[in-house]
Copies of this chain bind each other. A is one copy, B any other.
Amino acid sequence: MPGPAESDYRGGMASSPVSIDDLRRRLVAAQQGMQAQGWGCLLVSPGPDLRYLTGYEALPLERLTCLVLRDGGLPFLVVPELEIAAAEASPVGSLGLDLLPWAETEDPYAKTADMIGPLTSAAVDNHMWAEKALPFASALGDVPLQLAGPVLSSLRIRKSADEVTALREAGAAIDAVHERMGEWLRAGRTEREVAADIDRAIIDAGHVRTDFVIVGSGPNGASPHHEVSDRVIEEGDPVVVDIGGTTAAGYCSDETRMYSIGQPPAEFLEYYAVLQEAQWTAVAAVRPGIPCQDIDAIARDIIAGAGYGDLFIHRTGHGIGLETHEEPYIVAGNDRQLEAGFAFSIEPGIYRSGAHGARIEDIVVCGEDGPLLMNDRPRDLQVL
C-alpha cells in the first residue's frame, strides 16, 4: 500500500463515542494543561492520545502526522499531503482544525518549527517514536523535551459518561464470548484450536479487532504470560481464559474467567476460593478517595493471609480505555487516589508453578458511591 493506515473495515469509519463539542473541550483542556506546565508547545503523534484529542485514528508510520498545541496560537495538524483527505474525513474536518500539509520531499520538522516559532520547551506524547521526537527537539533549537503523559493521562484517566457507556459495551461484547466458552473448550482439543474459535467469536460479538487470547490449560495456567500452545486440554484441567478486543468506538475489553474440564484437583479448589474472595473484596472496596495501592493491598493481603502470597506475582490491575493498559495502575507504590470515572482491571492471580493457576479479572469503573462493573459473567469456577 502507498500509505498509512490499518483498515477498520470491520467496524466502519472511526466511529467515536464523543461529540465534536467534547473533542473541542478536550483540546482546550490539553492546551490549558500545557500552559499550566509552562510548555511552549505540545506535540501529539498518531496513537491513542491523538484519537482522544481529535477523533483521528491514524496509525504511527514513517511519514509525520502530528497535532501541535501551542501557547498563543490555534492548534494545527501536520499532515502528509497524501493524507489530507483521510484527515478531513475524520472528526478533524468537523473540528475545523487548521492543517499544515507537507509534500513528499519536504522536511516536516523544519516546516513545523517555522510555524511554531521560537520557544524554550516542548512536550511530546509518551508514545511518540524517538525518530520523531529527536528531530523535533533539534528543529526546535535543541529545546529540552518533556513527556506530555502527566497532562494527557490526567484527562484520559477520568472517563466521561459516554466513555463509560463505550467500556460497558466492550464489556458486554467480551461477556458474550465467555458465555459461549462451553462450545469450544473441551478435553482433546488444543489450546490453539480453542483460541482460534475465540478469536472469531470476539469479532462476531462486536469488536473490530481481537487484541489477545490467552488459553492456559493445566500447568500452562501457572504462567501469567502464557498465551496459547499446542497442548491438548485434558480432563481435570483448570483453564485460564483471558481475552480482549477493541470495539469500533475504540474502547478495549479485557476479561478473565476460570473454567475446568470436569472436576479439578482439590488443591486448586482450595486456592480458587481464596482468589475469588480476594478479587471480589478488592472490587467491593472501589470508591473515590481510596489509593490505588490500597486496592492492590486488599487483594494481596487476603491471598497472603491464606498462605499464597508468594504465588501472586503481578500487580492487581491496570487502567483501560483507548488502550488495554493505561493509567491508573493498581500496584504497590501508587498512592494516587481513585476518582469517579477511573476505569481499571482488578485481576489477582495465584500461580502454582508446574501444576495449574487461576486469575479472575473484571473491568471496574469507580462510581460516585462504589464500583461499577463492566463485566457480568459469573466469577465462580465454570465446570464444563
Per-position 1/0 for A351-365, Cβ under 8 A of B:
000000001010000
A370 located at the interface, meaning its Cβ lies under 8 Å from any Cβ of chain B in the complex? no
Contact A254 B224 (CB under 8 A): no
Stretch at the interface among A81-89, A157-165, A176-184: A81-89
A7 located at the interface, meaning its Cβ lies under 8 Å from any Cβ of chain B in the complex? yes
Contact A9 B130 (CB under 8 A): no
Cβ 8 A contact of A129, one of B126, B224, B313: B126
A315 located at the interface, meaning its Cβ lies under 8 Å from any Cβ of chain B in the complex? yes
A85-B225 in contact given A9-B199, A9-B213, A105-B333 (Cβ < 8 Å): yes
A4, A129, A244 — most chain B CB neighbours (10 Å): A129
Cα A216 to Cα B5 with chains together (Å): 14
Specify which chain B residues have a CB less than 8 angstroms from the CB of A99 in the assembled complex.
Answer: none
Contact A228 B9 (CB under 8 A): yes
A6-B212 in contact given A129-B128, A147-B134 (Cβ < 8 Å): yes
Contact B7 A195 (CB under 8 A): yes
Per-position 1/0 for A115-153, Cβ under 8 A of B:
000000000111111110110000000000111010000
CB distance from A304 to the nearest CB of B (A): 15
- Since A1-B244, A126-B130 are in contact, a sample of 13 more A-B pairs with Cβ atoms closer than 8 Å, ordered by chain A residue number, is A1-B254, A1-B324, A1-B361, A2-B225, A2-B314, A2-B359, A9-B215, A82-B224, A82-B313, A86-B223, A86-B225, A127-B131, A133-B133
Specify which chain B residues have a CB less than 8 angstroms from the CB of A225 in the assembled complex.
Answer: 2-5, 82-83, 85-86
Cα A326 to Cα B63 with chains together (Å): 11
A349 located at the interface, meaning its Cβ lies under 8 Å from any Cβ of chain B in the complex? yes
Tally of this chain's copies:
2
A130-B104 in contact given A5-B225, A7-B213 (Cβ < 8 Å): no
- Chain B residue nearest to A326 (CB atoms) is B62
Specify which chain B residues have a CB less than 8 angstroms from the CB of A244 in the assembled complex.
Answer: 1
Contact A212 B7 (CB under 8 A): yes
Residues facing B in A316-349 (CB within 8 A) are 318, 324-326, 329, 331-333, 347, 349
Interface residues contributed by chain A, number (CB under 8 Å): 72
Cβ 8 A contact of A130, one of B130, B199, B229: B130
Cβ 8 A contact of A7, one of B83, B128, B228: B228
Cα A177 to Cα B215 with chains together (Å): 29
Contact B228 A349 (CB under 8 A): no
A286 located at the interface, meaning its Cβ lies under 8 Å from any Cβ of chain B in the complex? no
Contact B332 A227 (CB under 8 A): no
Contact A224 B3 (CB under 8 A): yes
A2-B129 in contact given A104-B315, A225-B82 (Cβ < 8 Å): no
Pairs A–B under 8 Å by Cβ, sample size 29: A1-B324, A2-B225, A2-B347, A2-B349, A2-B359, A4-B225, A5-B212, A6-B211, A7-B195, A8-B227, A9-B196, A9-B228, A10-B196, A12-B192, A61-B325, A62-B329, A82-B225, A82-B313, A83-B225, A85-B225, A86-B225, A105-B331, A127-B130, A127-B131, A128-B129, A128-B130, A129-B130, A130-B133, A133-B133
A82, A146, A329, A333 — most chain B CB neighbours (10 Å): A82
CB distance from A352 to the nearest CB of B (A): 14
